[in-house]
Chains A and B, each alone.
Chain A
């Protein structure tokens, strides 16, 4: 059974960098797309980006200048860094995996972690 678990700081100061990690258990990381998706309180879902099994990435154009994703297959983890955060980045952040090797839709999700941007 594939399981994903986000971990992060909970609170981030404006203008600082948000760093999140998704730990994966129950399957290899090498054969799927892996994504970050966020949801501001009371609002809809926003795709942040995904990372290919090769380690190459595709980001949401609206966030591209501030986003960096990476993968460490030896640790079964992938990570998100979002720079220069503002209150608008306050959201629940989910990591997710496609259900099949070529899927860019998301069959497995972490429980989500709420990140608040505030001084």
Chain B
């Protein structure tokens, strides 16, 4: 299986900050990575697909980059509604895997 190692597991930030979350794949997944946001008690919400493509309706302060084994999710000008947990997911293999999650907190 392809492992997705996400860091940090917890991130403390303030409104207006720029935050970066990293996912490292145990082997190349090309650009087949998606990012999700999950708030407490809710289903995850798709933010980014194919490493850098913004899902419709997602604010432009979210961006993704990377290829191969290293991927990043960046949130510019952090807003109060962005405090949540973020997950990466690889789909470069038949068997899908998620990262362990990053909680963005105040």
Binding site for B on A (CB under 8 A): 35, 44-47, 50, 58, 60-61, 94, 96, 99, 103-107, 109-112
Contact = CB atoms under 8 A, between A and B. Distances in A.
B49 A47 contact: no
Interface of chain B: mostly helix, strand, loop or mixed? loop
Interface in B19-66: 34, 36, 38, 42-46, 49, 55
A24 to B, nearest CB: 15
A94 B100 CA distance: 17
21 contacts: A44-B99, A45-B36, A45-B38, A45-B89, A45-B98, A46-B98, A47-B89, A47-B96, A47-B98, A50-B96, A60-B96, A61-B95, A96-B43, A99-B46, A103-B49, A103-B91, A105-B91, A106-B44, A106-B89, A109-B43, A109-B45
Interface in B76-106: 87, 89, 91, 94-101
Given A45-B89, A60-B95, A106-B44, 14 more contacts: A35-B96, A44-B99, A44-B101, A45-B36, A47-B96, A99-B55, A103-B49, A103-B91, A105-B89, A105-B91, A106-B89, A107-B46, A111-B43, A112-B43
Contacts of A94: 43-44
Contact of A104 (B45, B96, B101): B96
